[in-house]
Structures are given as C-alpha cells and as structure tokens.
Amino acid sequence: MFLSRLRLFFRHRRIGPAIGLLAAMTFCSGAPPESVDLLITGGLVVTMDPQGHIYENGAVAIGGDRILAVGPAADLKSRFRPRTSLRADGQVILPGLVNTHNHVPMTLLRGISDDLPLMDWLTRYIFPAEAAFVDAEFVRWGTRLACAEMIRSGTTTFADMYYFEDVVAEAARSAGMRAIAGQTILDFPAPDHKTTAAALAWTEGFLQRWGKDPLIRPAVAPHAPFTVSPENLKACSALSAKYQAPLEIHVSETRAEQAQILEKYKTTPTRHLHALGVLSERVIAAHCVWADEEDTRLLHQYGVGIAHNPESNMKLASGVAPIARMLRMGMAVGVGTDGPASNNDLNLWEAMDLTGKLQKLHSNDTTVLPAEQVVRMATILGARALHMDAMIGSLEAGKKADLICLEMRRPHLMPLYNIYSHLVNAYKGSDVSRTIIAGRVLFEKGRLLTLDEPQVLAKAYEYQQKIAARFTRR
C-alpha cells in the first residue's frame, strides 16, 4: 500500500526509471565492480540536481569525502563493491541542509528574553550578557551545543558570524561539520578584541591559518553598515578580496537601520555598500528585508548571496523580505535560522515551513514559493548563496558527500503524494535518522558519534544557572 502510493506520486514526477534501467543494463555488461568506501541503498533519493532526479529504491556511492555516483540501487549495487553498506529502506535520502545565517555560540543565550522591543532586547539583555559571559569557553560550548542540535536535525553546513571565530571553527571541525566561520568586525570593543584594528589584524591571520581546511571556510564578517564605518567596511572588503574569502554582513534588517543609514549617508544600506566597493560575488548578505528594487538589482548584478531568516524576522518584527521578487530574478536566496536568541532554535525545517507560508500570506498568493523551490533554497540555492554550490547542495557525482536520511513511515508523514510538499510542510527535525558529512556518519540510531552529548548538555545547564542568576526576566 505504501509503495503503491509512492508509485502514484512517481507517475507525475520527472524521475527516470527508464534511464535507470538503461544505466543498469550498461553497467551490468561485465566490468568488475569498483571498490568504494560506502554504499547507501534502498531509500527514496531526492537529488536536488538540475534535472530534479528522484530515485525510488535509489542509492548513493561514496569514496572518501565525495559522492561517486547516484542512481537506482540495482545499478549501483552492480557497479560498486562497498567496504561499508548502509540500508535506507523506508527513508528519504536528501542533500544535507544548508543554514545560510547563524550565530551558533548564542545557543547559550537561547530564550534569555523574548517579547521585548528590539532595542530593549539588545541593550538590556543580549549585549550585557555577551559582555559578561562571552569568552573562548562560552563560544566552545555554545558551538558544540549548536552542532549537536544541527547534526540531529539534518543541517550539514552553516554560515556563522560571531566572536572568537577560531574557536567556532575548531569546535565545528572536531564535530565534523562544514562551516563558513565569519569573524565579526565592529567599530566598538567586542568580547575578543578591544579595537577594530586589532580585530582586523587577527582576522587576517585567521584567514591565513584556516584557508586550506577541508571543512571550514574562514570569512570576514563586518556586522552591518550601521555598526561598521566606511573605512572599516573597506578594510574588510580588502581582506575578503586578498584571501578570496567570503564576506558576511547584515543588510537592511530593520526599518530603523534603513532610516539611520539614510540620515547618515543619504542612501540605502545596499547602495552605501555599493558606493564603498564592498559588493562582490563573495558577499553573503543576511536579511535584506527592506531592500528596494534598485537594491535588489545591485545585489543581483554582483551575485551577492542572500540569507533569508523568516523566524528571526517575524520574532523581532523586522518585516517580510522581498524574496519572491529576488527568486523571480534568479538570485541565490538561501534559508537561515539566524542566532538561536532570535529564533529560538537551529531547526531549518521550521525555517523552510515559514519561508513558504510567510510569502504566501504576505502576497495573498498561494502559488508563490512552491514547495520544491523552498527545498531548493534549503539545499542547492542555499549552497549557491554561500558560493559553495560547486561543492555541496545536491546529490551529484563529484560533490562532497553531505547527506541526510529521513524517516518516512510516521503518522504525520503518511500518506505521501508529493515529497517536496512533505519536506516543507510536514517534516520535523526529529525525523532525521542519519547525518553524513564528507562521507563520515555523524548521527545514527539516535546517537551523535562525534560529540559527547551528555557532557555538552551538562555544560549548557551550568551556563544556564550562571546566566539566569543575572539576566532572566522574572
């Protein structure tokens, strides 16, 4: 019954059973099987490749940290002799999710205060808590906690902006996660550097030290046009150009920021960045809620990646980003959670769900952002927004082996008529059954394999007690 429903769905999909059969015939013609590290078989493989291939009873072959082949299980079983085999019957196999905007150590400030005006929230709670508690240890344990949450819920790559970013990089790498680690630059003293000049000098060394890491891409992250001077923005841009490193920045997040930049520079944040020469194909711009048509034209022209954060934008009452327009223009718009203090979790399934629903409500049009497009935003388009789509974001031969398995036979997932609709509107982070990054299994059978979860939770509780004593609203 389950399979007959799947077949009903597949009759309407552009899957290639005939292609698969042809491929199987081609490869059954006598060549000896090739040895591979890992073969995952039996799942419903949703590739997110340019043709939108989906394979019922599919398989993925992995050698080292790369995907060697994707296709029908019968075909791959005849072509490859695996050192390790994993079954994924009754499961979906999907590219790992890409979280395009995050401040991961802020897990330790999750829910410290909610339901306040933005400036109260920032000045009475977030900034003082950061000034009092953020150091390398805080960042280490906050990142480990975030990695545990993200690996469990199927995120395989995240883009971060915070302080002590080398500690974020170390913690993410030892957990086995792929990340862009962006060192925050501000005009005022930060927890890790007293002056902007010191932060910039340190960031240059950070870009040099981590430039060749297989999992971590170091980045420079000027906080926003209203917190970083034109001179410092130019210095960040020069570093990004010198080391071909990503540049992460918040842009046009709130109406207040828009007004502030207009008053100070007589222009919009995007046009201000353009005038300074900061926009480039290395930039990842978070939010862009108040970007007007000229702004989006400029962002598009430079190939800037956009990180859309619907939950943070809703919770902080920032507004609704014009992402339907951006997507129509062909821009790379990914999904992000933003920091866990303004979300309050790192679960990308909720962000996907709200990405679709918020645009439908805002435009009063049920046809905008169909489910398949939202899944693309959380996978291949998100990878494009991070300028990493040649490496990750889809299940294709040659790409890094970052993929997740999802349960299918659960009450809230039955019956199944359209897998994309399910992925956006019905799946939860808790439906992830296995997470693989760079060919390495990090989560399986309910267990995290690279993190000591009880220890991470115990540390989080220690921080809770310390921080709550000073900051929690009564």
Instruction: Give the interface with Zn ion as residue ranges (CB under 5 A).
Output: 338
Minimum distance from residue 223 beta carbon to Zn ion (Å): 9
**Which of helix, strand or coil describes residue 378?**
helix
**Residue 184 to residue 442: CA distance in whole angstroms:** 28
Question: In the numeric block, which tokens belong to residue 420?
Answer: 């994309």
Spell out where 143-291 has E strands.
155-162, 178-185, 216-222, 247-251, 283-287
Of 311 and 338, CB closest to Zn ion: 338
Give the β-pairing of 447-448 and 247-251. unpaired
Give the shortest CB-101-to-Zn ion separation in angstroms: 6
Between helix 348-363 and helix 371-378 the angle, nearest 10°, is 140
Considering the complex, state which of residue 37 and residue 338 has its C-beta at the smaller distance from Zn ion.
Answer: 338
Give the count of beta carbons closer than 10 Å to the beta carbon of residue 268.
Answer: 21
* Least distance to Zn ion, CB of residue 403, Å: 27
C-beta of 192 vs 338, nearer to Zn ion: 338
Q: Which two tokens stand for residue 472?
A: 């929690």
Nearer to Zn ion, 39 or 97 (CB): 97
Nearer to Zn ion among residue 78 and residue 343 (C-beta): 343
Considering the complex, what minimum distance in angstroms separates the CB of residue 287 from Zn ion? Answer: 7
Q: Residue 433 carries which side chain, given as an amino acid letter?
A: S
Q: What share of the chain is helix, strand, coil (3-state, %, to 5)?
A: 45, 25, 35
| Residue 421: CB minimum distance to Zn ion, A | 29
What's the min distance (Å) between Cβ of 309 and Zn ion? Answer: 7
Residue nearest to Zn ion (CB): 338
CA–CA separation, 157 and 470 (whole Å): 34
Among 372, 371, 343, 338, residue whose Cα is nearest residue 357? 371
* Residue nearer to Zn ion on the CB measure, 127 or 461: 127
